[in-house]
């Protein structure tokens, strides 16, 4: 939401390039009660970002078992149908935080692709054929983030060198970016 606003304000002066970061790189089944308790923590960022919709986990779906499937699916959509990438990424966030769906389930990911305008079955076939390469890409991006000292989501890396961890106000992002732009034009 904030990066959308930043992009709207700054237009062509910036490029936003999503990268993978795995909050749960390992695949493990989490105890449902503990996971539901954990989702209470979503209310803090929800209060900070009124346009975002977060719900404490209330569906019957199991807790996602890890981050890799959703990250792989997001990468897959970029090459499967790049015109649907942004909508798919938004749908992934809504599926997890609002609808409380298990976005570590490959069928759920194919269903979300179908809901965003892709053929769910063709997307599932594409995922199956490309999972190994896409997973490696996700792992490489995650490792790059770790090497930059990134430990949190969200993290915005400005100019490939300046990591800003945690959600910040749009005005603060804009201020930092404008300073960098000014320094470049002065040089």
> Is the distance from CB of 18 to CB of 89 less than 8 angstroms?
yes
Q: What is the per-residue pLDDT for 77?
A: 97
> Is the distance from CB of 140 to CB of 129 less than 8 angstroms?
no
Q: What is the per-residue pLDDT for 100?
A: 95
Tell whether the model's pLDDT for residue 129 goes beyond 90: yes
Q: Which two tokens stand for residue 129?
A: 């054929």
**Residue 142 domain-assigned?**
no
Q: What is the CATH number of the domain that holds 123?
A: 1.10.472.60
Q: What is the per-residue pLDDT for 3?
A: 82
Q: What is the per-residue pLDDT for 160?
A: 77
Q: Which of 1-5, 20-24, 79-83 has the lowest mean pLDDT?
A: 1-5
Q: How far apart are CA 154 and CA 157, in angstroms?
A: 10
Kindly tell me the burial class for residue 124, based on how many C-beta atoms sit within 10 Å of its own C-beta (0-12, 13-18, 19 or more).
Answer: buried
**Residue 172 domain-assigned?**
yes
Q: 155: helix, coil or strand?
A: strand
- Long-range CB pairs of 178-183 (<8 Å, 24+ gap) are 181/13
Q: What is the per-residue pLDDT for 118?
A: 97
Comparison of pLDDT for 142 and 43, the residue scoring more: 142
**Residue 38 domain-assigned?**
yes
Tell whether the model's pLDDT for residue 92 goes beyond 70: yes
> Is the distance from CB of 124 to CB of 107 less than 8 angstroms?
yes
**Residue 66 domain-assigned?**
yes
Q: How many domains does the chain have?
A: 2
Q: What is the per-residue pLDDT for 103?
A: 96
- 16 lies in the same domain as 46: no
**Residue 144 domain-assigned?**
no
- Return left, alpha or beta for 100; rule: phi > 0 is left, psi -120 to 50 is alpha, else beta: left
- 15 lies in the same domain as 33: no
- 88 lies in the same domain as 180: no
Task: Give, in degrees to the nearest 5, the angle at Cα 51 between 87 and 164.
Answer: 80
Q: Which two tokens stand for residue 174?
A: 């804009």
Model-level pTM?
0.84
Q: What is the per-residue pLDDT for 1?
A: 67
**Cis peptide bond upstream of 154, omega within 30:** yes
**Residue 143 domain-assigned?**
no
Q: Which domain holds residue 182?
A: 1-21+150-187
Residue 21 pLDDT level (bands cut at 50, 70, 90): confident
Q: Tell me the per-residue pLDDT of 146-181, one tens digit each, with 9 for 90 and over.
A: 998 888 888 888 877 778 887 788 888 899 888 888
> Is the distance from CB of 109 to CB of 103 less than 8 angstroms?
yes
Query: Average pLDDT, stretch 84-113?
Result: 95
- Return left, alpha or beta for 11; rule: phi > 0 is left, psi -120 to 50 is alpha, else beta: left
Q: How far apart are CA 2 and CA 22, in angstroms?
A: 21
- 97 lies in the same domain as 56: yes
């Amino acid at each position: 939401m904030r990066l959308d606003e930043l992009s709207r304000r700054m237009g062509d002066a910036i490029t936003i390039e999503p990268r993978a970061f795995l909050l749960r790189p390992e695949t493990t089944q989490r105890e449902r009660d503990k996971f539901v308790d954990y989702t209470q923590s979503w209310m803090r960022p929800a209060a900070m970002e009124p346009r975002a919709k977060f719900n404490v986990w209330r569906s019957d779906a199991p807790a996602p078992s890890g981050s890799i499937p959703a990250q792989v699916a997001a990468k897959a959509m970029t090459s499967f149908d790049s015109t649907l990438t942004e909508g798919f990424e938004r749908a992934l966030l809504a599926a997890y935080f609002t609808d409380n769906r298990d976005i570590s389930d490959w069928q759920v990911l194919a269903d979300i692709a179908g809901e965003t305008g892709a053929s769910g079955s063709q997307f599932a076939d594409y995922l199956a054929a490309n999972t190994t390469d896409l997973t490696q890409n996700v792992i490489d991006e995650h490792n790059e983030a770790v090497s930059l000292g990134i430990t949190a989501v969200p993290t915005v890396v400005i100019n490939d060198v300046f990591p800003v961890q945690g959600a910040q106000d749009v005005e603060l992002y804009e201020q930092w970016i404008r300073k960098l732009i000014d320094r470049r034009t002065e040089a």
